[in-house]
Structure formats: C-alpha cells, structure tokens
C-alpha cells in the first residue's frame, strides 16, 4: 500500500514500547501496541472465569468484545488501566490466549483495519513484520538477553521481583516462539538489534537512522 508502516517485533520486555514511542514522536507516526489487545482478551477471560484453554469460548469472547466495542475499537479502548493489563494473572494467561489461531485471525483483521485508516504508523508486537504487514516500510526485531530484559523491567516497575519477571519473560518467550500460528520469529528482512549492551539512546538512534534511509 501507500501507507508507511514501521513494524517493531521482538520478545517480552525488549524495549519495544519505549523505542516505538520515540519513533512516533520523531516521525509523527500513529502508535499501536498490539499486545494490548491480547491482554484485554486475557483480562476479560479471567474476569468472566472463562478458562483460557477453552478455544471455543475464548474465540466467542473475542467476538463479543469486538462487537461490544463498535466504533471505539478494541485495539485502542481506554476502558482498561495499563497496570491492570500488566498484572501477573494477565501475564500468565496472555500467551495461551494468543496461541489460538481464531483469536489471532480476528486481531490481525482489527490491526489491518486500524492501520488502513492511518497514513503513517508504528506498530509493536510479535508478528507485525512476518504476518500482519509482510510489506512493512521498515521492520525491526529488538531483542536482548533475558536477564537484561528482566532487570530493565524491574527498574521500570518497582513492585515486581527480579525472579518473577525473569520467569515470566522466559515462559512467554518460549510460548510465543513455539506456537503454530504466527510464532515469534524475526522477519528475514528485519533489522535485528540486540540491545543488551546498548543504551536507550543508541537503540533509538539506530532505529531513527534506518527509518530515515527507508522511509
């Protein structure tokens, strides 16, 4: 298409959100956090006591949420506090919800619809450059050693303990990389950045340079 789409994928706590926000500001892009949608579905499943392993019921819940949200789409709904969506029960449930192919199909459609309405956007997730926008303008795959990612997240969210965060990061990476439906894998043409030894400014400056060259 004619739209500018910057795709930022990578494992949990790799710094996707902070770097995407910086790119959004520099290049005047609309920003979408695609993981939020999977988190909303997981949160609602927990609230309604629907077991996340029940594919049929979770798919039904997903359809219900999409219908309910109508114009204020599920992707950008402000009904949910970020802290609620980042709480431990949601972290535990979200990858199970995200491996359901029927759920992924629906979320994929929503994201494509959202992006179609923007001229220029940056989207973070796990499958943006591989499945959702294989023809994205620029693709990044951000990663870092699990210990580094866990430590950064602990500094960011004071309450969490290092062991718990590291456990969550490793468990979700494994689930996201091993699922059958659009697993987390770098797109062949993605610019891979291991941020383990880099500062936030260094990461953003590399990404900015790549966007200037290709955008």
* Residue of 172, 203, 207, 211 interacting with ligand C5P (CB under 6 A): 172
Task: State both tokens at 137.
Answer: 């303008």
x/- string (CB under 6 A) for ligand C5P, residues 49-88? ----------------------------------------
* Residue of 15, 35, 129, 146 interacting with ligand C5P (CB under 6 A): 35
Task: State both tokens at 144.
Answer: 């870092």
Q: Does the annotation flag 215 for ligand binding?
A: no
* CA 107 to mean position of chain CA atoms: 11
Tell me the window of 21-29, 34-42, 58-66, 143-151 that interacts with ligand C5P (CB under 6 A): 34-42
Task: State both tokens at 16.
Answer: 């996707």
* Residue of 23, 38, 58, 150 interacting with ligand C5P (CB under 6 A): 38
CA 104 to CA 120: how far, in whole Å?
23
Q: Does the annotation flag 51 for ligand binding?
A: no
Comparison of 172 and 191: residue with beta carbon closer to ligand C5P? 172
Q: Does the annotation flag 72 for ligand binding?
A: no
Q: Does the annotation flag 17 for ligand binding?
A: yes
Residue pair 160/154 in contact by the 8 Å Cβ criterion:
yes
Q: How far apart are the first and last CA of the chain?
A: 13
* CA 147 to mean position of chain CA atoms: 20
Tell me the window of 66-74, 123-131, 160-168, 200-208 that interacts with ligand C5P (CB under 6 A): 123-131
Comparison of 41 and 191: residue with beta carbon closer to ligand C5P? 41
CA 11 to CA 185: how far, in whole Å?
9
Q: Which is nearest to 149 in space by CA: 132, 162, 133?
A: 162
* Residue of 98, 103, 122, 204 interacting with ligand C5P (CB under 6 A): 98
* Residue of 7, 39, 103, 165 interacting with ligand C5P (CB under 6 A): 39
Tell me the window of 18-26, 120-128, 145-153, 196-204 that interacts with ligand C5P (CB under 6 A): 120-128
Interacting residues with ligand C5P (CB under 6 A) = 12, 34-35, 38-39, 94-95, 98, 125-128, 172, 176
Residue list for the binding site for ATP:
10-18
């Amino acid at each position: 298409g004619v739209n500018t789409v910057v795709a930022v994928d990578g494992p949990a706590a790799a710094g996707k959100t902070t770097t995407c926000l910086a790119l959004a500001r520099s290049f005047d892009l609309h920003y979408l956090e695609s993981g939020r949608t999977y988190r909303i579905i997981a949160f609602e499943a927990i609230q309604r006591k629907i077991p996340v392993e029940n594919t049929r019921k979770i798919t039904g819940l997903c359809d219900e949420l999409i219908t309910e949200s109508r114009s204020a789409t599920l992707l950008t709904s402000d009904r949910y506090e970020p802290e609620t969506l980042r709480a431990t029960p949601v972290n535990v449930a979200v990858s199970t919800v995200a491996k359901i192919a029927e759920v992924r199909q629906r979320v994929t459609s929503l994201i494509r619809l959202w992006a179609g309405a923007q001229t220029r956007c940056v989207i973070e997730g796990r499958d943006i450059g591989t499945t959702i926008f294989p023809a994205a303008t620029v693709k990044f795959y951000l990663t870092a050693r699990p210990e580094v990612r866990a430590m950064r997240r602990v500094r960011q969210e004071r309450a969490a303990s290092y062991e718990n965060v590291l456990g969550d990061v490793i468990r979700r990476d494994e689930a996201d990389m091993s699922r059958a439906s659009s697993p987390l894998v770098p797109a062949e043409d993605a610019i891979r950045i291991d941020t383990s030894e880099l500062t936030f400014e260094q990461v953003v400056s590399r990404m900015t340079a790549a966007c200037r060259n290709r955008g």
